[in-house]
Structure 1
Amino acid sequence: MSANNGVRRALWKRFIDSAQPTLDRWHEQLEQPELTQERLLQRLLKANSDCAFGRAHHFARIADSMQFRDNVPIHAYAQLHPWIQRAQQESEPILTSRPPLFFERTSGSSALHKAIPYTRDFLSEMHSALGVWLADMHRQVPGISHGSGYWSMSPPLQVPVTGPNGIAVGSASDLEYLSGSNIAGLAGTLLIPEFAGDLSNWRRQTLLALVADADLSFISVWSPTFLTSLLQPIFDGESAEHEQTFAWLDNALPTARRSALRRARSQGVCTELWPRLAAVSCWMDGPSRHYYRQLAARFPQAQWLPKGLFATEGVVSVPFGDGPGCPLAIGSHYLEFLCEDGSLRNAHSLRMGESAQVLLTTGGGLYRYALGDRVRVVGMLGATPRVEFVGRTTVTSDLVGEKLDEHIVQNIFDRCITTTGAACLIPNASAMPPHYLALVATPEDLDAGALALAVESELSNAFHYNQARRLGQLGPLRVRLLKGSADLLAQVLQQAAELSGIRAGDVKPRPLINRLETAEAILALTESSCRHL
């Protein structure tokens, strides 16, 4: 064992020892979710009763969760946005009694870019969930501590700025999330590529750092498509760009690693490239299920571990224990669930098989926040439901985190297509990398190339679509032209929907197709009858 690996094992042991009190508390919480959640809510209300939001919603007079529902409405981001704007501009406590450390950017599933407040209390809530996950993952696969780890940390695509009240908008590094926690010590086990130059150079340097490390024992990413796209230069010999990157890697490596790289390409797997790799963790449910299964074939030596439902706004479920799904993060935030029949449930009252939309109340100042994600109960751990991610609640398409919704798409088509006719946007999830296709029906002659550039440019104004494109997780938009009126497009969509199992009377025309079975049927129906770009 190398000296570096000995240091890494020692850092992991120090973390595991320090995480034990958190694990003990977590085990107790799993057995009493109702009491745990009620106490957490009361703590949040008491701590923030004197901020502007707390005074406006009478936090000091709320005695239980029922009164909380009566006094505080459900909020989408648009409803919270005025409060968040005040928190970015004013010095007095607005959403929480203690000011945010920074605001993190995200774009969600609307045209409105989001700024999520990160307070010290909110980070502590996240740290608790992360600590449970990491400690349990080490229990399942101790080999993750025997070498170096790679946790995907994207370079900042937007430079942090300082608001009028001196609070930063945007974080300089993902490592800021770990500040002040016992998890921060694990940074010494990580392979952290330097970010220099443009995003293309960052990708090359990241891949070089990974390939050069024979001791890699753990990979943690969010979307499996990110890792797939990062590794493409190793396995794709047809792209000139990927061939250039492979040659650059080959030239930069010492002899032993160069040989391992060449064997990986010839064998189509990473077994000899990273012989110590014990586990890979990524999203494995919802839309990611297809991509993770394809990627797993490259890593037969590794165990695959799920991610829970972690979002910029908070954590819903934590990978822990055995069995399907992940238990709800009942010790981190106050959770409510809006069921399909319109009823509201607390965490402890969800039943097996039920699907529901997640509402979050956090120490960061989000109160009854509609996250936009749906989960399904697939098991129990103690008295706490285990859930899996189902998908988004609105008409959105989110293959790799791009979070497009039909309102954005319709506005783009309105701006880009000035002729008579109609259009819809279709995800091609089976392509590698996946991409979107604009299917346009018009009786007039259109320049498909110019239209593709125009729509792609508009889509790139959506933060996460642009990020997915820049990271190589999505390919460029393509266009198919149907010669005819809007009725022709409606016929195609109707036929495809019926072929994919939707009842004829339930089919609705939409500018965005987000059901993958329907998307595949549309692509098949129009493959030979359209002009392509």
Structure 2
Amino acid sequence: MNIKSILAKPFAKRIAARFYKQSNNAVKVQQKVFKKLISQAQQTAFGKDHNFDRIKTYQNFKEQVPIRDYEGLKTYVDRVVDGESDILWKGKPLYFAKTSGTTSGTKYIPLTKESMPMHIKAARNALLLYIAETKKVDFLKGKMIFLQGSPELKEKNGINIGRLSGITAHYIPKYLMKNRLPSWETNCIEDWEIKIEAIIDETINEDMTLIGGIPPWVQMYFERIVERTGKKVGEVFPNFNLFAYGGVNYEPYRNKFEELIGRKVDTIEMYPASEGFIAYQDSQTETGMMLLVNGGIFYEFIPSEEFFNENPTRISLADVKIGVNYVIILNTNAGLWGYNIGDTIEFLSINPPRIVVTGRIKHFISAFGEHVIGKEVEDSINAHTIDTGISVSEFTVAPQITPKEGLPYHEWFIEFDQKPGNVKEFSEKIDASLQLQNSYYFDLIKGKILQPLKITVIEKGGFNKYMKSVGKLGGQNKVPRLSNDRKIADELSKFEEK
């Protein structure tokens, strides 16, 4: 056992004890975070505009600060981008995390000297809590890889700009640098298909023990390894036993991953966003992720069914309930206030606060009032693929409002690795599962407003071809599970299996 492995266990135990003490006093910790954020931002332009000096309670805060998305904060962000100080947060940000917006083009999310360490600490602690629970430290002996964006940064008015995953690459602890792959040069390759081959060149003969990234892009890495070697990933990397992921739900990919690897491996789910590191999986036996209550973020929640109302219910952690689908709202030490990142979550427990991500508030289907969400479609497909021999590589769902004949329906675009013997029978089973989960959908089918869903089979590699055609192959990009229009659907139709 090397020195890192020896030291890791007692350190992990200490971090875990501190983490659970905070998690079991989550409301009290959140109140302290709230007060600290308000105090530190009083002299900013935003703080002055919103009377932070008079905010004493959460109720005061709600009266002064409305819910906004990036568009709503853009006038403030633009001032920060232009080089002004003390606008959303004291001083200037260290970085801007560059992301693609829907209506505003490029979004610049500030990362400050207070918020940046939280991203690094959370990722580290997720691994430490895994060690504390499982006592497994062997992964520290081998090589580790996180498939990520380019670490090359550009400068704008004295502030560095890049993708979040590329920015965090500058913060790899020194004690892990010898273990980390790929090389800086390979990580800087922009073309995803060239980059993935270069990553394989550098890793294929190494003792890989920890692999991380967004599941669809790690799947592509694994598939190329299998193609090149003719072996399972678990044979190529016999000591690979830990997969860390975020960005999308792993369950729809689990069967395919286990097939590619050749065995089951432990997994750690993480919930990082450019706006803040929100949660991570703390247990191999408990479902869900623990909300990070002391990470420089004060959380608010709005029931998703009320979100588009004029005056929706807006609550703090103190008043949440188990089983309600909430839009999560952030107030951060990077200067985002009443900020809607667009995600929806559900609490599995409150003390400690354990959550699952259920989807995106804009990624749903409600063409007829059914309001089907991501978790429902994923659970429906998982129910009939896990342990069935059927394997799905990728899928997305859109409404078909004006079919050539018959009633409207939900169209599921699915790329299979192992196709069911009878696709129609498979679609009937998924539809039945969806009806059980969503009473609105059930009523629409029963009332003959909708007909049951239909599956369009996409050719193998079709989703990657689609992503390449729209310039989004690789990196942090992913196909939404749900759309309320047919923009993606009509493009994907070009890759229908013949």
Tell me the TM-score normalized by structure 1.
0.66
Given candidates 462, 467, 471, the residue that maps to 1:466 is 471
Where 2:181 maps in the other structure, the secondary structure is: coil
**Bigger radius of gyration:** 1
Check conservation: 2:5, 2:137, Cα contact below 8 A: no
- Comparing 296-305 with 95-104, which one deviates more in the overlay? 296-305
The equivalent of 2:116 in structure 1 is: 123
How far the C-alpha of 1:472 sits from its partner, in A, is 11
The equivalent of 1:315 in structure 2 is: 277
The equivalent of 2:212 in structure 1 is: 220
Check conservation: 2:112, 2:333, Cα contact below 8 A: yes
CA distance in 1, matches of 2:190, 2:52: 47
How far the C-alpha of 1:178 sits from its partner, in A, is 6.0
How far the C-alpha of 1:185 sits from its partner, in A, is 3.3
**Matches of residues 20-35 of structure 1 in structure 2 within 5 Å?**
22-35=15-28
Where 2:201 maps in the other structure, the secondary structure is: helix
Given candidates 338, 343, 363, the residue that maps to 1:373 is 343
Residues 440-480 of structure 1 deviation map (CA, whole Å, 9 limit, x = unaligned) = xxxxxxxxxxxxxxxx999879xxx623x2569889xxxxx
The equivalent of 2:309 in structure 1 is: none
The equivalent of 2:99 in structure 1 is: 106
**Matches of residues 440-479 of structure 1 in structure 2 within 5 Å?**
466-467=471-472, 469-470=473-474
CA distance in 2, matches of 1:349, 1:217: 41
User: What is the letter of the counterpart of residue 221 of structure 2?
Assistant: L
Residues 513, 175 of structure 1: CA spacing in aligned structure 2 closer, same or farther, 3 A cutoff?
A: closer
Residues 231, 210 of structure 1: CA spacing in aligned structure 2 closer, same or farther, 3 A cutoff?
A: same
Check conservation: 2:126, 2:268, Cα contact below 8 A: no
1:337 aligns with 2:325: no
The equivalent of 1:356 in structure 2 is: 326
1:292 aligns with 2:287: no
Residues 44, 466 of structure 1: CA spacing in aligned structure 2 closer, same or farther, 3 A cutoff?
A: same
**Matches of residues 4-153 of structure 1 in structure 2 within 5 Å?**
9-11=2-4, 22-110=15-103, 112-139=105-132, 140=134, 141-153=136-148
How far the C-alpha of 1:17 sits from its partner, in A, is 5.5
CA distance in 2, matches of 1:123, 1:405: 36
CA distance in 2, matches of 1:531, 1:177: 38
CA distance in 1, matches of 2:160, 2:47: 23
User: What is the letter of the counterpart of residue 91 of structure 2?
Assistant: R
How far the C-alpha of 1:270 sits from its partner, in A, is 2.1
Residues 54, 224 of structure 1: CA spacing in aligned structure 2 closer, same or farther, 3 A cutoff?
A: same
- Comparing 110-119 with 138-147, which one deviates more in the overlay? 138-147
The equivalent of 2:291 in structure 1 is: 328
CA distance in 2, matches of 1:472, 1:153: 7
CA distance in 1, matches of 2:155, 2:287: 43
The equivalent of 2:361 in structure 1 is: 393
**Matches of residues 399-410 of structure 1 in structure 2 within 5 Å?**
none
CA distance in 2, matches of 1:198, 1:178: 17
How far the C-alpha of 1:277 sits from its partner, in A, is 1.2
CA distance in 2, matches of 1:472, 1:51: 32
How far the C-alpha of 1:36 sits from its partner, in A, is 0.4
For structure 2, which runs of at least 5 residues remain unmatched after alignment? Answer: 307-311, 366-373, 379-393, 399-408, 419-463
1:154 aligns with 2:144: no
Residues 55, 20 of structure 1: CA spacing in aligned structure 2 closer, same or farther, 3 A cutoff?
A: farther
How far the C-alpha of 1:14 sits from its partner, in A, is 5.0
Given candidates 210, 224, 241, the residue that maps to 1:233 is 224
How far the C-alpha of 1:294 sits from its partner, in A, is 1.3
CA distance in 2, matches of 1:17, 1:365: 35
CA distance in 1, matches of 2:164, 2:475: 18
How far the C-alpha of 1:227 sits from its partner, in A, is 1.2
The equivalent of 1:384 in structure 2 is: 352
CA distance in 2, matches of 1:46, 1:405: 45
CA distance in 2, matches of 1:234, 1:201: 14
Residues 459, 531 of structure 1: CA spacing in aligned structure 2 closer, same or farther, 3 A cutoff?
A: closer
The equivalent of 2:160 in structure 1 is: 168
How far the C-alpha of 1:531 sits from its partner, in A, is 9.7
User: What is the letter of the counterpart of residue 320 of structure 1?
Assistant: D
How far the C-alpha of 1:224 sits from its partner, in A, is 1.2
User: What is the letter of the counterpart of residue 39 of structure 2?
Assistant: K
1:511 aligns with 2:481: no
How far the C-alpha of 1:98 sits from its partner, in A, is 2.6
Q: What's the RMSD between the two structures over aligned residues?
A: 4.0
CA distance in 1, matches of 2:99, 2:397: 15
Larger helix proportion, structure 1 or 2? 1
Where 2:131 maps in the other structure, the secondary structure is: helix
How far the C-alpha of 1:512 sits from its partner, in A, is 4.3
Where 1:98 maps in the other structure, the secondary structure is: coil
The equivalent of 1:430 in structure 2 is: 415
CA distance in 2, matches of 1:352, 1:186: 39
Residues 425, 353 of structure 1: CA spacing in aligned structure 2 closer, same or farther, 3 A cutoff?
A: closer
User: What is the letter of the counterpart of residue 76 of structure 1?
Assistant: D
Tell me the TM-score normalized by structure 2.
0.70
How far the C-alpha of 1:323 sits from its partner, in A, is 0.7
Check conservation: 1:19, 1:131, Cα contact below 8 A: no
Check conservation: 1:357, 1:375, Cα contact below 8 A: yes
The equivalent of 2:175 in structure 1 is: 185
User: What is the letter of the counterpart of residue 117 of structure 1?
Assistant: P
For structure 1, which runs of at least 5 residues remain unmatched after alignment? Answer: 1-5, 237-245, 247-260, 407-423, 434-455, 476-499, 501-507
How far the C-alpha of 1:177 sits from its partner, in A, is 5.9
User: What is the letter of the counterpart of residue 373 of structure 1?
Assistant: D
CA distance in 1, matches of 2:78, 2:189: 32
Check conservation: 1:229, 1:472, Cα contact below 8 A: no
Where 2:145 maps in the other structure, the secondary structure is: strand
How far the C-alpha of 1:190 sits from its partner, in A, is 1.5
CA distance in 2, matches of 1:350, 1:13: 41
How far the C-alpha of 1:60 sits from its partner, in A, is 1.8
CA distance in 2, matches of 1:285, 1:457: 19
